[in-house]
A and B are shown apart, each in its own frame.
Chain A
Amino acid sequence: MQATPDRLIEVGELCAANPKLSAALSIVHPPTVGLVMMQVREPVCRERFYLGEVVVTRCEVLIDTHRGWAMVSGENKEAALAAALCDAISRTHEPEYSLLRENISRLCDETTERIDSSTRREWSDLAPTRVNFEEFE
């Protein structure tokens, strides 16, 4: 769900082009833009409170008996539908979908690597700002 929208849509389109899938697919909940209330637990009293709302797009599909559900950040109905398709396909075992499952698995790996690489890049900027102030003697 954290893949870039472009890549999600690309893999989603690949899924939708599968002839077996198009016959087996039904949309349970069409892509809907809505809000998630973000809940946090603070460290002083270990209490929960609501920080604010986040705009997301949610979608749910069914491929034969396999439910696929997804929620992506922001307003992006195409990406939410694509992510729900990927989620449903990743739960299938049929050989007709094996190529798609491989594509989805690659997308997951690629997303993990993108996030890790971005963290590393950011850290290389941050590390020189480590500070150790000294006290006046």
Chain B
Amino acid sequence: MGYVSARGGLDAIRAAEKLVRTKRLVSDSNWLEEEQILDKLRLLVDRVMGEAGLWEPQLASKAIRQSEGDATEAVHLLRAYRSTLPRLTYSEATDVDDAQVMRRIVPAFQRVPGNQLLGRSVDYTARFLERTADADAREEAEKLRGAERGIVEEKSPPAEEISPRRLIDLLRDMDMLIDRRRTDDPEPFDITRTPARPPAPRSALLSSMSRADTGALVNQWYRNILGPDGYLHEVTLGEVRHATLPLNVRHPVSGDVVTVSHIRVSEVEAIEDLEGIDEDRTRFDVGYGLCFGHNERKAIAMANLDIACHRDAGKTQLEQSLLLTTDALDSAGFLEHLKLPHYVTFRSMIERKLAVRKMRSNEASAHDGA
């Protein structure tokens, strides 16, 4: 790494920091409440938690406010905070089949077990920038609030709809799926304790992608599917879900499994049409994506990259790329360090060039003399 430390500048650093703080705290606009960030910028909060690998909506909203909306900076703040906390325990393994859906679509198949539920989505809506005046928007909000209060009928959701059977279960019933179910139950790889390097177990890859930068993962997916890797393949999504999962821990006194809280997740299954020479072309295979919060873009990229990595089996640099270049803090940290003083590094580069020139000039003189 090229960075060499520099001294001094402390007064200017303090003044710059004060400038940031003052401009953030002192302004003519209203104080930005945490509740507003949680409520109105929920997808940003979810994205920051997912990329930080840390679930705590209140803290994420504080981080977003402190970072003035810079998602990567907010991830940095959360990771820094996380590093001060002890690891109390590992949860019991939550089976994702225990998830309760708030949105569930199956793009691959029309008739699926349970219903398809669009939930909170604008996927099917034309995008127009709303330029409604604030007063009109507030009036509309009041009307909608009134309409919400008017809802009286509250029914319990049918079990087959709130925890629907998966499309892959149906495909298994039809013997259309490669069966990769394991019986040995290996201990998961903990990427927060040991950096994952290829070849890594799948659990390391899944954890890395779960907390990867959304943009980086989407870019990897796009490059993989349309780029120079030679993997132009058909993509079909099985399940796309936004759901809640229970966080379960074992009670040390009673020994019972107890639920501490519920975490929202996005979950995707990507169905892969196998067409390789060595592959079973009569069946499909499946990739899996799961990340904190409502971030379908990330979960879709993850699911496709999971199966791409499995099929690639180390033939290209895909796994290395996913493990080493998609973390928001790693990549942004390396990039941003370039802004720090590199005077010594650059001076030595100039000196090397001058030395080369001098050497060439000496060689030319010697040649002319001869």
A residues near B, CB below 8 A? Answer: 1-2, 32-56, 58, 60, 67-69, 71-75, 87, 91, 116-117, 119-127, 129-133, 135
Q: Report yes or no: A39 in contact with B182, Cβ–Cβ below 8 A.
A: no
Q: Report yes or no: A69 in contact with B182, Cβ–Cβ below 8 A.
A: no
Q: A43-B269, A117-B154, A123-B154 are in contact. Are A55 and B245 (CB under 8 A)?
A: no
B274 to chain A, nearest CB (A): 14
Interface residue from A43, A53, A129, A131 paired with B168 (Cβ < 8 Å): A43
Q: Provide the residues of chain B in CB contact with A67, threshold 8 Å.
A: 253
Q: Report yes or no: A52 in contact with B50, Cβ–Cβ below 8 A.
A: yes
Q: Provide the residues of chain B in CB contact with A129, threshold 8 Å.
A: 103, 117-119, 121
Q: Report yes or no: B116 in contact with A131, Cβ–Cβ below 8 A.
A: yes
Interface residue from A39, A53, A58, A130 paired with B53 (Cβ < 8 Å): A53
Q: Report yes or no: B260 in contact with A73, Cβ–Cβ below 8 A.
A: yes
Q: Report yes or no: B116 in contact with A130, Cβ–Cβ below 8 A.
A: yes
Q: Report yes or no: A131 in contact with B88, Cβ–Cβ below 8 A.
A: no
Cα–Cα distance between A56 and B258 once the two chains are bound (Å):
14
Cα–Cα distance between A73 and B59 once the two chains are bound (Å):
12
Cα–Cα distance between A53 and B81 once the two chains are bound (Å):
12
Q: Report yes or no: A38 in contact with B96, Cβ–Cβ below 8 A.
A: no
Q: Report yes or no: A124 in contact with B54, Cβ–Cβ below 8 A.
A: no
Q: A42-B288, A44-B269, A123-B162 are in contact. Are A135 and B110 (CB under 8 A)?
A: yes
B107 to chain A, nearest CB (A): 9
Q: Which of B67-105 contact A (CB under 8 A)?
A: 82, 85-97, 100, 102-103, 105
Mask of B279-292 contacts with A, CB within 8 angstroms, 1/0? 00000001110111
Q: Which of B34-87 contact A (CB under 8 A)?
A: 49-50, 53-56, 58-59, 82, 85-87
Q: Report yes or no: B188 in contact with A48, Cβ–Cβ below 8 A.
A: yes
Q: Provide the residues of chain B in CB contact with A39, threshold 8 Å.
A: 90-94, 188
Q: Which of B283-309 contact A (CB under 8 A)?
A: 286-288, 290-292
Q: Which residue of A lies closest to B287 (CB)?
A: A44
B residues near A, CB below 8 A? Answer: 49-50, 53-56, 58-59, 82, 85-97, 100, 102-103, 105, 110, 115-119, 121, 151, 153-157, 161-162, 166, 168, 180-182, 185-192, 202-204, 206-207, 210-211, 245, 247, 249, 251-253, 258-261, 263, 265, 269, 286-288, 290-292
Cα–Cα distance between A120 and B211 once the two chains are bound (Å):
32
Q: Provide the residues of chain A in CB contact with B53, threshold 8 Å.
A: 52-53
Interface residue from B82, B95, B291 paired with A35 (Cβ < 8 Å): B82
Q: Which residue of B lies closest to A72 (CB)?
A: B260
Interface residue from B56, B82, B96, B202 paired with A41 (Cβ < 8 Å): B96
Q: Report yes or no: B156 in contact with A120, Cβ–Cβ below 8 A.
A: yes
Q: Which residue of A lies closest to B292 (CB)?
A: A52
Cα–Cα distance between A44 and B97 once the two chains are bound (Å):
11
Q: Report yes or no: B153 in contact with A124, Cβ–Cβ below 8 A.
A: yes
Q: Report yes or no: B154 in contact with A121, Cβ–Cβ below 8 A.
A: yes
Q: Provide the residues of chain B in CB contact with A127, threshold 8 Å.
A: 155, 157
Q: Report yes or no: A1 in contact with B55, Cβ–Cβ below 8 A.
A: no
Other 16 A-B pairs with CB < 8 A, given A51-B291, A126-B102, A129-B118: A35-B85, A36-B88, A39-B188, A40-B93, A40-B245, A47-B206, A49-B204, A50-B207, A54-B55, A55-B56, A71-B249, A71-B260, A74-B58, A119-B100, A123-B157, A126-B157
Q: Report yes or no: A2 in contact with B260, Cβ–Cβ below 8 A.
A: yes
Q: Which residue of A lies closest to B154 (CB)?
A: A120
Q: Report yes or no: A131 in contact with B117, Cβ–Cβ below 8 A.
A: yes
Interface residue from B118, B249, B292 paired with A51 (Cβ < 8 Å): B292
Q: Provide the residues of chain A in CB contact with B153, threshold 8 Å.
A: 124
A51 to chain B, nearest CB (A): 6
Cα–Cα distance between A127 and B204 once the two chains are bound (Å):
37
Cα–Cα distance between A74 and B258 once the two chains are bound (Å):
16
